[in-house]
Amino acid sequence: MWLRELIGRGALTVLAFMAPAIGVANESKSRVEAVLDRRDRDRIELEDLRFRFTLFDQRGRGYQSQAGPLRGPGSERLLVYQPTGSFRIRGRDDRIAHNVALTFDVVTAASPDALDAVSSASRTNEAGTLDVTTTFESNDRSRWSANYGVHIEEHWRTGFGGLGYAAGLLNNQVWVSSAINFVGDSFDGVDPNGDNSGPQQQRYALNHNVSITSIVSRTTVASLSYGFTAQWGTLFNTWNSVYVESSEPCVTDSSCGTRIGERFPGERFRHALGGQLNQHIARTRSTFKFGYRYYRDNFGLQAHTGSLYAYQYLVPDRLYLRAFYRLHWQTGVDFYTTAIADEDSAIPLRTADSDLGSYWAHHAGGKLVFNIVAPNSTTAVPQNIAVDYSRYQRTTGLSINMFSIGYARGF
């Protein structure tokens, strides 16, 4: 579940800028002139093209997995090969632009979803996502956006859509934005034994985000955001299981207990409050981003996440390094357990999913970007290649190594 969110869609986005507030006055002026000079185009133009390949290598053990001892913990070994492509086109009306992203995942797993120990159907899984964002800039002080798309994989179908609005205030020194998003999931009712005999399951989420971003000075930008998400339907994974220890004396390992499916409440309400401060140091061409996020929900889970990003040009206009570190701590949900006694098997709420337990997590990495053509070039379109590596590590033993290489160019 955590990895799905990591490589997929996030519910809360905090606005950030690589080099904040440099030349704001000139930029606002040129933007006004661009709006006044707009004319309908005679054709659709491609403005931006990007390609990226990412490898996720996950190792660890979790009590929801059956790839191991009956009692657990079982293997959470997972490999994901993810090619991604995206492009931006601008329509005949210069105010309308479309950003289109296509992502494909090829998953090779020992048992990340607890199925492969009893069924090999999901050992190799292919998935694809189409994500489109259309923006409409009515003038230099307001912007509408619509986000929509689909996700399809082995036994899962998702459709999503949302609307957003952003308005500039105080001569565009302050931006206020709001967005509403809806996600609908439909998936097969696969049970912990790997049988696809259950009815089709549905899960829905409605999310509302609001944020405010302010240019504090020519080199400082601050933002604050809040997101609320309501989820309902089948919120648990029907194939995850919890170990039940038998009260009878056991002769073999298989007779010492059994496993039953996990159970969640029918509704979940999630709150997330985040803040970020971006500081640019012009003399050294450095940028720092400091972030914090607080999360809580009605499952009893609370989380605190702090982050630090640093950008440094190594060769002016040509080569820069981005380094980051994130520290995350969360409590477990109220009904998390690694095992239950036989006499407690009738309790209505239970999960052994390691994503919902208590842990600390460290995530650190670096990204190197080489501008083949400098962004401010007046003779050729911008082009760059980027390579990055990061490592995610939990105190529970789960770890993920992520490698990526990408190419981008303008037109």
Range name among 48-52, 107-111, 132-136, 198-202 with the lowest pLDDT average: 107-111
Give 91 or 292, the one with higher predicted confidence. 292
Average pLDDT over residues 268-289: 96
Question: What is the DSSP code (8-state) at residue 336?
Answer: B
pTM: 0.84
Q: What are the b/e assignments for 158-196, b being 16+ CB within 10 Å? A: bebebebebebeeebeebebebebebebbbbebbbebee
Residue with tokens 């789960």: 398
Give mean pLDDT, residues 163-178: 95
Q: Give percent of the chain above pLDDT 90.
A: 58
Cβ partners under 8 Å of residue 252, min gap 6? none
Average pLDDT (254-259) is 72
Going by C-beta distance under 8 Å and a sequence separation of 6 or more, which residues neighbour residue 33?
A: none
Instruction: Give the three-class secondary structure for 109.
Output: strand
Number of H helices, E strands in the chain: 2, 21
Q: From the centroid of its chain, how far is CA 197?
A: 31
- Residue 104 CB contacts under 8 Å (≥ 6 apart), including other chains: 82, 83, 84, 126, 127, 128, 129
pLDDT in tens, 298-326: 999 999 999 999 999 999 889 999 999 99
Summarize the chain as % helix, strand, coil (round to 5). Answer: 10, 60, 30
Query: Beta partners for 165?
Result: 144, 178
Predicted confidence (pLDDT) at residue 63 exceeds the cutoff of 90: no
Q: Would the pLDDT of 260 be above 90?
A: no
Which of 29-43, 160-174, 212-226 is least confident? 29-43
**CA-to-CA distance for 107 and 126, rounded, in angstroms?**
6
Domains of the chain, with CATH numbers? 2-410 (2.40.160.40)
Are 400 and 58 a contacting pair, CB within 8 Å? yes
Which phi and psi angles does 316 have, rounded to 5°? -50, 125
Dist CA 283 CA 120 (whole Å): 57
Task: Please check whether residue 22 is in contact with residue 282, taking contact to mean a CB–CB distance below 8 angstroms.
Answer: yes
Q: For the segment 331-385, what is each residue's pLDDT rounded down to a tens digit? A: 999 999 998 887 666 778 999 999 999 999 999 999 999 999 988 777 788 899 9
